[in-house]
Structure 1
Amino acid sequence: MKPDFFKNLPPEIISEILLRLPVVSIPISKCVCKRWLHLLESDDFIKSHFARSAPALVVVGDSGRLKVFELESELELDLESHDPLTKYDFPYHRGKIKSSVNGLLVLMKCVYDGVKVSLNMLYVCNPITREVIKLNVPSDSQLSTSKVSAFGFGASRITGRYKMVCVKLKPYDDKLDCHVYTLGTGSWRRLEECFSFFKAPPYHAQGLPFIRERSVSALSGCLWFSEESTKYENDGRQCELVIWIMKEYGVDESWSKEYVIPLDDDTRFVVPIKVFKNGDLLMLETVYFPGRLFYYSNKNKTMQRIDLFGAGKASDCVECGLFTPTLVSLKALGLGVENVISF
């Protein structure tokens, strides 16, 4: 019988070895022995693993096929096909990826009744542990996508609890109506308006451009404001994407224009989903052809369409999003009344 070298190793050494495993191999390692099971499910190990995790790209196709790909740096952005870290059929078919926090994804599913599109269901999912929570949308909250002006997901800095926030404009009123869902409570609650406001970036355009789309996102710890415009001048029509970054949150004067990207007729509204260390951007089209990916070279000032990991096939429209893989189990979050489903 071969000696068991792991048996006499200190827990911190075993932990350091297991932290180097691919993320999909760690759940399998839990089956080795009870000692490893307890170590791999400990808060310290999960936190250490998350701190070392590299960003990943999650892709959900029309068929409900979910794939997760590694995406570490611009040097590893190979435009050929990649093998995914993991892939499987999402149990509720395709959902629109809305946001990601601490490795948890929020997907939403809408229905069309012939008159309007309404938000039908929300899902909180960990694609690594393959767990999901369904959140019904109360009928009395009237969370119609035609009225929703903002939608977000985050974790409280004070309690650490996860919260879903939906903000909408009241009919015939300039006031905002805010609904909050704290995971574990099982219900939405309405809040009085409690927001602070700041100005959008200064805009000094020439030629009275037509603004086609606007978008706000958070990347690399800053607020990003993207605006696509069309100008008509002597030399014809010009489309461009202007990206501003708020260097200091909440300070109007800290807006800085970082990118001005010319767009051709084949490129519709795109938003940045990842910024690389050299200033390059991975961008996602969100309006006319959702799921198409583009790569912007900050050095060459050029943008190209890419078929990254096979995500741009015309036969399968996709939803793409960036997240950091985590091993945290939804069941371990103490969600109380929530029904965590494993798949």
Structure 2
Amino acid sequence: MTKRKPAVLGALGIFIILMATLSAFFLDSLPIIGAGSKYTANFSEAAGLRASNEVRIAGVKVGKVTDVALDGDKVKVEFTVSDAWVGDKTSASIQIKTLLGQKFLSLEPKGEERLNPRDAIPIDRTTAPYDVIDAFSDAARTTGDIDTTQLATSMETLSQAFSETPENIRASLDGVTRLSETISSRDDELSKLFAATDKTTQVLADRNQEFTRLIGDASVLLQELNNRQQSISQLLIGTQRVSTQLTGLIRENEAQIGPALQSLGQVIDTLKTNNQNIAEAIKLYSPFVRLYTNIVGNGRWFDQVIVNTFPPGLPDIPGYREPIRTLGVDPVRSPGAGQ
């Protein structure tokens, strides 16, 4: 058996580790592990839908859009769905997620059998909305292209043609003429207004990503506040449970706690009664502490003086002197007395 070189084995191991690391980034794209089932829907237009937009059923996110591409005269949208049932009569629509134009793909599951992933949802069961920003832009461009001078001339000609009509109709035509003249006199202002509207819609379109991130951050903030509210709610529930347990404990031990509290009250009354005595004792204890501190405060020994241990010294009298009294013997009758 031939031995492999350590360098070859090391390179093979590094290659396997790199492949495993790269596959981890695309783990959710695997059909069995994370991505779910893949489906296709045909739309008449994309309407601003993009890859990575959400796929929802009844408002709940169940997947995401993986690709939006032009397929002939229609738009083919590929998306994935996980943990949700999609029937063979399912309809799809592109809905507006935010006011700033972000979209999502909405599914309405129908049918008795599961939809075959190879069968695309046809155009007659899909709906694409008209983009709001495009609508304002088209309105601004259409209104700006109107020749107001020619419109005023047409209205005036029409008024002259109906000049011989009855008075009521002539009054109506005069009003139309005055309206056309007013529009013609305000042509520059209207042009500026529509130009400003066009610029405003363009600025909003350019800031779409910033507004989307702002709304996303606000959503994260609201989610965090919701989490804190749940934590506070759990804390209050725990406090209520502790209060209930303490109430039950007090009620169960009420017979023992009552006498104990009474005894404690008596002790407090006694302490209050002897408060003056205790204060006086502390006051008298103070000189003892000072003296004791002086005794033991000079080192590892006690300074003490013992007084009156020996009697005081007697005066020195020369010669012999009889004792004044002898215990147990009469000094008059004692032997040798008077000799």
| TM interval, short-chain normalised | under 0.3
Greater RCO, 1 or 2 (C-alpha within 8 Å, sep 6+): 1
* TM-score, normalisation: structure 1: 0.19
Bigger radius of gyration, 1 or 2? Answer: 2
TM-score normalised by length of structure 2 = 0.19
Larger proportion of strand: 1
